[in-house]
Structure 1
Amino acid sequence: MSKSLQAIRGMNDILPEQTPLWRYFESTVARLLDNYGYKQIRMPIVEFTELFKRSIGEVTDIVEKEMYTFEDRNGDSLTLRPEGTAACVRAVLEHGLTGAGQPQKLWYIGPMFRHERPQKGRYRQFHQIGLEVFNIDGPDIDAELIVLTWRLWGLLGIRDAVKLELNSLGTSESRGRYKVALVEYLSAHLDKLDEDSQRRLKTNPLRVLDTKNADTQAVLVNAPKMADYLDDESRIHFEGLKARLDAAGIPFVINTKLVRGLDYYSKTVFEWVTDKLGAQGTVCAGGRYDGLVEQMGGKPTTGVGFAMGIERLILLLETLEQVPEEISRQVDVYLCAFGEAAELAALALSEKVRDQLPNLRLQVNAGAGSFKSQFKKADKSGALYALILGDDELAQQVIGFKPLRGQGEQQNIAFDALAAHLATCVVQG
């Protein structure tokens, strides 16, 4: 017998009972970004592999071990996008969106792909919402990105569960000086470093700061600090960001080991972390990448952005029981019709009601069925009310109205008064 077909490990179906929460989260973010003046951009999920090698860095874990890369029929090396910033920069350059220094505030949503070990909150196909801002170089836009996420956490009811961590990586020049000092220090303690950190010391020494190994973390306690090597420009920028966050009343902590896993960051880096999800605690992260556009062939253009993991934030909402009760109900009213004449009238009546109440979630029974079977489907739908239309009601031009989730007697409502009655009971209630 052939093996049953299944989804690829780490690439999950999002089932109908889960999608209302996803839609709630996505629509909440979209409304917020509209209010802040961000415009949506949509990029392909497949790009030339060279794009990610040039932007992310060839010695990063993503490029070395995690990308889904393949040759197409033309022999071109293509990659499923592992993150969104590089693709967004490519689109901005290709279409001249930042020409003549024009600022752009963009956002995107979609799946990303990395061949990681699947675990709670970490998948091989995962979904992100990302923001990218170009040609605005002051700390005010860095602050805006953080402020709007703080507002989002408030809208979602999760502010008390997340913490903001900040750092500055300085310019490439100051970071280069710091790398020299860090490598010199760590080389003197090489025997105390874990194997992965010893490898990174030769390829990407800043990533050693992000180690989870306890022995290496002990070595790092006395390691040189990035703050001591910052140039004046980066230091002023960072102080300006902190002052704005203080003014907005947003608490934060400085994490001198925060470096992020991508080569293109400079100056500001930040992460929103939580201790409610176990080891996978980062729910939103980003920073400034002022040299990336030029690195990818464009003119010098400042950039800053972040990405938030949808799966982790959905999981956090569920863990904290911050799922609004109303979104789990996908049907407000279920209309049961008995007999062909009633079914025809139900179709016409339901469309008239939808004309008057476009936000009402009204489901009309399909597939006929007995009184008992239709009411069973009405109850299973989660509807608050059932509407009943049979030959007797049709003759009187009324429809039965029966509460399903609370107290109240069944009553008859005239056809022409139905929309107004539903508006009182459902749309406003």
Structure 2
Amino acid sequence: MTAGTRTVAPGPAALARILEPCAPEEFLASSWGVRFLHVRGRAGRFARLMPWEKLSEILRRHRLDFPRLRLVRDGSPAPVSSYLRHVAGGRGRTSIPRLKPTELTKHLREGATLVLDAVDELHAPIEGLAEELELFFHEHVQVNLYAGWQTSRGFDLHWDDHDVFILQVTGRKKWSVYGMTRPHPLVADVERAEKPTGKPLWDGVLEDGDLLYIPRGWWHVAQPLAEPTLHLTVGVHNRTGLDLLRWLAERLRASETFRRDLPRTASPSARAAHAERLREELFAEFDAATLERFFAELDARAEPRARLNLPRDATPHTLPDSRHTLVRLVAPRPLEFKTAGGAVEFDALKRRWRFADEALVLLRPLAERRACTVAELCEEARGKLDERTVRAFVCELLTHGLVSLGDGDEG
């Protein structure tokens, strides 16, 4: 990446890549949250996200335990002890999972589906995709992996409590998609969502490079086709009105009226008066701007993904001499800058940050591109800040945990 190069904002670009050739605007207007979408894609376009050799390496090198790693067949889990053993470690105080490779592959040959949750924490290309989609949707994104070889389905007909993008990485898989039988069901619901009895809305085969979007609460089932198949499910965990009410309840802890005991033994008129005070304070808090305040606080309190670059991160008082060092913003949500009184402020990582307004010339490109080289930042600040000041500010951001460092070829 050369100095001064501008790139497309990461979040929208990531959504456009996985939806191609469907435009994100078209998807958001006609499908997001309301209907399924099947997109035919170029074969191999998702291959770099999880090659078979990388999956094999992850299984070899990581201490993966149930339920993160599991085998399922026709809706039933395989006994954990049949593919994992646990050995004592740390003078017997801990239990370390060890894979039984021969037994595991025997299960797979006989029709089991291999499930590996949160692979976005195990492979950088998938983590990068999840990070970019989190920037766009402003919600937590988790990516799970499913691999099969025979014709036995992994899971029975079911619905998920989050929206999913299914990326067919390699091979093929048959899918049946039904609608909701209960509008917007919850995991802990007051009423059960009954299984659909009619024909599916869509019955088809995902080919290598295809995408299938399924909204939360839509019933679906998948089945391998007697060939190696691997897909990723990108889950977007959106908030509901119940999350908003829980947030409001926490805010109302500041209210003396809501902290007060309810007047169970008082007269009917006193109880009615207390209820009216509660209602007035609740509705005073629940105004037209409540939703925007909720979203803003969620963004400000969002947890970043773990990102380390040792030994650099442990020596923040200096930067490498190379101008190609990559400075990567850690804050997991888009930043909103406010300038006043010669200062720039923004909320991120559970606190409010305040810097001299000269810093905006560096903060803005970092917020827009998420990663810039030292050379790019110096170019952005040309005529306003010298390189020594740029480097000192990057060191300050690094000390506060707002940025991490990497090599220029990461961009």
Query: TM-score scaled by structure 2?
Result: 0.26
Max Rg structure: 1
Query: TM-score scaled by structure 1?
Result: 0.25
- Between Structure 1 and Structure 2, the one with more helix by share is 1
